[in-house]
Structure 1
Amino acid sequence: MNMESVQEQLKEWGELIITTNAGETYEIHLGDTQFDLVQRTITLTTPEAEFIIDGDAVENVKKHYGHKV
C-alpha cells in the first residue's frame, strides 16, 4: 500500500492501526504522525521514542473505533 493512501485514510479516519511488511504494528493518530513524501517515511512521535517507518512498507491498515476504557 502506498503511503499517500495511508495518509488519506488517516486524514479521513483520524486514527489507524498499521502493520508493516516486517510484521511491526503501530497505532497512528493525526496529532502524532508526520508524512514525508520526498523521503517516503512516516514519523510517529510518542512519549517514549520517535519511530521512522518506511512509508511504502505498510501492508495492512485497520480503522480503529473509539471505545470506553
Structure 2
Amino acid sequence: MIRIVKPGGYILNCMREEFLESVPEYKDRLVPLFEDLERQRKLERIEWTIYPNHFVGVDGIRMIFKVL
C-alpha cells in the first residue's frame, strides 16, 4: 500500500482485533511490520484504536497511518 499511496496520503485498516492473534499470517508479524515501517520513517501512526461491536459483539481495531 505504501507504493500506491502518495506521500501525505493515509492508509486505513479495520478488522477484528482477535485476528491479530488468530490469523497465522498476522500473528507476531503484522504489528512488528508496522513498527518496522515506522522506524524506517515510511509510515507515521495516526491512530491505533480498539473499539466495540466491529462485528456483533466482537471488538475491532482501527489502524490509521500517514505515508511519509
- State the TM-score, normalizing by the size of structure 2: 0.30
> Which structure has the bigger radius of gyration?
2
Q: Which structure is higher in RCO with an 8 Å CA cutoff and minimum separation 6?
A: 2
